[in-house]
Amino acid sequence: MQFTKGHGAANDFVILADPDGQLALTPSLVASLCDRHRGIGADGVLRVVRTAKHPEAVGRAADAEWFMDYWNADGSIAEMCGNGVRVFARYLAVSGLAEGASFPILTRAGLVRATIDGDTIAVDMPAPRLGAAGAATIVPLTFPGTAVDVGNPHLVSVLPDGVDLDSLDLTRSPGFDPALFPAGVNVEFVTPLPPLDGFDLHVRMRVYERGSGETLACGSGALAVAAVALHDAALDAGTVAVELLGGRLAATRTDAGWTLAGPAVLVATGEIDVSALSTID
């Protein structure tokens, strides 16, 4: 099986070109591909499939030629991946599957438009919707947070003064209320940073992703964090610089909507022997 490897701010993906939707992708195959010791290793898989050829997307071919079929590292499917869609856009551009510097991509969370500007790829994202108050528990502490829907679910917790972001143990999922997040949730912890030229707000975050564990960056998470930061600062527009373990993402709100921007790069192509993978089914 041919693959491409890419990442956005070190949130990394195996990209599988499957234009006609013929690949029998299963949760265990995805998990095996993403295994960092026995497979290629990645936070998720991006299957590149024609909108007209994917059962979840068929009928939307007039909106976009390509559908991002996103899978988490554990083989679960998610609605949106902000870094994934930026890397997906890079793949379409480099492989010649999309022309020009700006083109639409269909995701499970709806249609987005990617715009390429050198090393940076920006995507207009679904508007984050702030929801109920929640809480994230890292025993023995419980941190208050806010539910945010970016097409996929997030719980954003701004850490109280005195709690060191680096001290949090994110080797396992923080606890959360399953009644509030019946389909699971991505959990972001945030601390403010000093002002940064060119940005309205500046924050640092770590994330525990549903289905992938702690990752070095999460684009939809950065957007969720920016939505909470702008709300808390009583700003209805602005750009938030979000520092993650893997680099910086910029999340912008204007009257026209929300944009996520940052690096997206392809680093390798190769071939994997699927029969050698330790798949379960």
* 230 vs 252: CA distance, rounded Å: 10
**Token pair for residue 83?**
């870094």
- The distance of closest approach from Cβ of residue 242 to ligand LBFN2T5F in the complex, given in angstroms and rounded to an integer, is 11
Binding mask 150-169 for ligand LBFN2T5F (x = CB under 6 A): --x-----------------
Annotate 148-174 with DSSP letters as a single string: EESSSEEEEEEPPTT--GGG---SSPP
> Site size for ligand LBFN2T5F, by CB under 6 A?
19
Out of 51, 83, 157, 259, the only residue in the binding site for ligand LBFN2T5F (CB under 6 A) is 83
Out of 12, 124, 149, 209, the only residue in the binding site for ligand LBFN2T5F (CB under 6 A) is 209
Residue 239 near residue 199 (C-beta atoms within 8 A): yes
- 113 a known binding residue? no
6 binds ligand LBFN2T5F (CB under 6 A): no
Residue 88 near residue 58 (C-beta atoms within 8 A): no
- Cβ distance to ligand LBFN2T5F smaller for residue 152 or 157: 152
Out of 6, 211, 246, 263, the only residue in the binding site for ligand LBFN2T5F (CB under 6 A) is 211
Query: For tokens 């029998």, what's the residue?
Result: 24
CA geometry: angle at 221 spanning 220 and 223, to 5°? 65
Residue 154 near residue 186 (C-beta atoms within 8 A): yes
Of 10-29, binders to ligand LBFN2T5F (CB under 6 A) are: 11
- Cβ distance to ligand LBFN2T5F smaller for residue 163 or 213: 213
- 243 a known binding residue? no
Count the Cβ atoms, other than its own, within 10 Å of residue 278: 11
- The distance of closest approach from Cβ of residue 272 to ligand LBFN2T5F in the complex, given in angstroms and rounded to an integer, is 22
CA distances from 51 to 88, 104, 108, 152, 276 (A): 14, 11, 11, 20, 31
* Cβ within 8 Å of residue 262, ≥6 positions away: 8, 9, 83, 86, 120, 121, 217, 219, 247, 248, 249, 250
109 binds ligand LBFN2T5F (CB under 6 A): no
- Part in contact with ligand LBFN2T5F (CB under 6 A); list of ranges 82-90, 129-137, 191-199, 231-239: 82-90
Active site residues: 81, 218
- Cβ distance to ligand LBFN2T5F smaller for residue 127 or 276: 127
Residues that bind ligand LBFN2T5F (CB under 6 A): 11, 44, 72, 78, 81-84, 152, 186, 209-212, 215, 218-221
